[in-house]
Amino acid sequence: MFSLGIVGAGQFAGSFAKLWRLHPGVGDIVATDLLPERAARLAADYDLAGTLPSYEAMLDSDIDAVAIFTQRWTHGSLAVQALRTGKHVYSAVPMAVSEQEIAAIIEAVRETGLTYMMGETSHYNPATVYAREQVAKGAFGRLFHAEGDYIHDMDLGFYEAYQYSGGENWKATASYPPLLYPTHSIGGVLGAWQTHATSVSAIGVVDDRKDGVFDRELSQFDNDISNATALFEVADGGSFRINEFRRVGYPSHIRESRFRFFGTEGSFEQLATVSLWQDKKGVEDVTDHLHPRPTLAPDDPSLAHLAPALRDAFASGTAPVHDRSRLPHQFAHAPNGHEGSHQFLADDFVTAVTTGTLPPVNAWTAARYTLPGIVAHQSALHGGNRLEIPNFGNAPGAGRLDD
């Protein structure tokens, strides 16, 4: 059993605090936030062991592991600090926002032997779980193309979320570049297809809403791109394409991450309400098999801290395609989220820390889900120039290091 410190007690941390409180492998949990009242609230809502005044105090304490739920551009340096002070790390996505930060995390994991895990929800998206199984069975034949979309319109909850997150100056951070949040689309593709991106060409669409969001004058990231598309070449031949859209007429509360995979013998295609397996003979509708059954109503009090448009995503249970047998029984009636993925991520981290094994989304996998987007953003800023993607290799002991 290990103790855990949660840093960042905002909108997302509670979903995981709840699960780790239930998990038999986790002992005391404490929280800290730059806004102490948020840490106190989280501790009260989820019956945690207490709060600490700062992240530094958490790193100085004898806590075994930290879970990072701070704003999306802050994770890299917080993760390195924690690893260097001897703490295991669970990080919300993305891993980092620069190649240097990714390199520093991998180096710290290699040198300390501690657990690092990125909580990529698409790794357990039902479509990705299904495609992973079809890959294992050889049902696709040779995979040669895939598509991953993370399409979440700003009007569907993101204005409120950024206002809560950024306070008075929220417009400075609501302009966060879509391609620097690439893990839901890339992670869903590479969570099934065992390859990695080697080069990219990307196109960004300059925003024209003119409401101060995606305004380079106000943007902390000097960013005016709100929709972006990137085409990646992969290591063993083939390509995948991602869409990261923040201005799009689409019901993201129904399904915000969607995937398609094409192989020489079979293919899989998904839209908001339908998922299809296809081969040369016909079409099989696998929608039900991939559809998470809600375990909570969207008005359940445990979801009250979320913006209304986000509550559906957090109310989801698991889909038939998910293997619940590996989860602790304490999760049976617990909330889940993002198409059933939260419980698997929470459990992966506990298993990795307590057994000393690599989690599925370890530092090397996290780099493969994150770095291609960082390079793609650079490509989009330079007219779609095709750029090479540095390769940090596979995790040690998980296949060839330099493939």
Ligand X SMILES: NC(=O)c1ccc[n+]([C@@H]2O[C@H](COP(=O)([O-])OP(=O)(O)OC[C@H]3O[C@@H](n4cnc5c(N)ncnc54)[C@H](O)[C@@H]3O)[C@@H](O)[C@H]2O)c1
Beta-bridge partners for 7? 32, 68
Residue with CB nearest ligand X? 10
Listing from the earlier edge strand, what are the strands of the sheet with 239-245?
Answer: 283-285, 275-279, 266-270, 257-263, 143-151, 239-245, 225-234, 197-206, 387-388
Q: Does 85 bind ligand X (CB under 6 A)?
A: no
Please give the backbone phi and psi of residue 194, each rounded to the nearest 5 degrees, phi first: -80, 75
> Given candidates 4, 5, 6, 8, which one binds ligand X under the rule CB under 6 A?
8
Count of residues that interact with ligand X, criterion CB under 6 A:
26
Site for ligand X in 25-54 (CB under 6 A): 32-35, 38
Region of 10-18, 201-209, 233-241, 377-385 interacting with ligand X (CB under 6 A): 10-18
Q: Is 70 near ligand X (CB under 6 A)?
A: yes
The contact pattern for ligand X, residues 327-366, with x = CB under 6 A and - = no contact, is -----------x----------------------------
Q: Is 69 or 277 the residue whose CB approaches ligand X more closely?
A: 69
221 interacts with ligand X by CB under 6 A: no
Q: Across 48-194, where does the E strand assignment appear?
A: 50-51, 65-68, 88-91, 116-118, 143-151
Nearest to ligand X of 143, 174 (CB atom): 174
What is the closest distance, in whole angstroms, from the C-beta atom of residue 22 to ligand X in the complex? 19
Please report whether residue 10 would count as binding ligand X according to CB under 6 A. yes
Helix (H) or strand (E) holding 284: strand 283-285
Report 90-109 residues binding ligand X (CB under 6 A).
92-93
Residue 9 makes contact with ligand X by CB under 6 A: yes
CA–CA separation, 15 vs 314, rounded Å? Answer: 8
Q: Which two tokens stand for residue 109?
A: 């994991």
Q: In 145-171, which positions are buried (b, 16+ CB within 10 angstroms) versus exposed (e)?
A: bbbbbbbbbbebbbbbbbeebbeeebb
Please report the sign of the dihedral spanned by the C-alpha atoms of residue 381, residue 384, residue 390, residue 396. Answer: positive
Residues that bind ligand X (CB under 6 A): 7-13, 32-35, 38, 55, 69-72, 74, 92-93, 119, 121, 161, 164-165, 338
